[in-house]
């Protein structure tokens, strides 16, 4: 599912226009990005939590040359699924062979 498919699905489920759904999805994603950039968690009960995690500096290897390189520390966004989302996903996987 891409963004256009998601927008269409939201519009149908909420019985709103495609343009309104597009605005809502844009506002939702911008709000999450804004909060994460301020090092805030975004918790959506039953769905999951978006947060920023610190990744330590480390060494790596350039796959084409084999040269050892230093990879700097970074902040990365992560998502932890909530219990209801996990149950929904696992319920589907149990039905498939």
Q: Where are the domains of the chain?
A: 1-40
Alpha-helical (H) ranges within the chain are 3-14, 18-37, 83-95
> Residue 65 has what pLDDT?
94
Percent of the chain with pLDDT over 90: 89
Give the mean model confidence (pLDDT) for residues 79-95.
Answer: 85
pLDDT tens sequence across 43-86: 999 999 999 999 999 999 999 999 999 999 999 999 999 999 99
CB 19 within 8 A of CB 57: no
For the CA atoms of 14, 86, 49, 15, the dihedral, rounded to the nearest 10 degrees, stands at: 0
Give the mean model confidence (pLDDT) for residues 7-23.
Answer: 97
Residue labelled with tokens 């062979």: 97
């Amino acid at each position: 599912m891409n963004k256009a498919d998601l927008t269409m699905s939201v519009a149908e489920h909420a019985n709103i226009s495609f343009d309104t759904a597009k605005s809502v999805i844009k506002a939702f994603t911008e709000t999450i990005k804004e909060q994460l950039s301020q090092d805030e968690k975004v918790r959506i009960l039953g769905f999951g939590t978006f947060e920023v995690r610190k990744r330590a500096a480390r060494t790596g290897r350039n796959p084409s040359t084999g040269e050892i390189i230093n990879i700097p520390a970074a902040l990365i966004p992560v998502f932890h699924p909530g219990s209801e989302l996990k149950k929904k996903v696992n319920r589907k996987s149990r039905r498939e062979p």
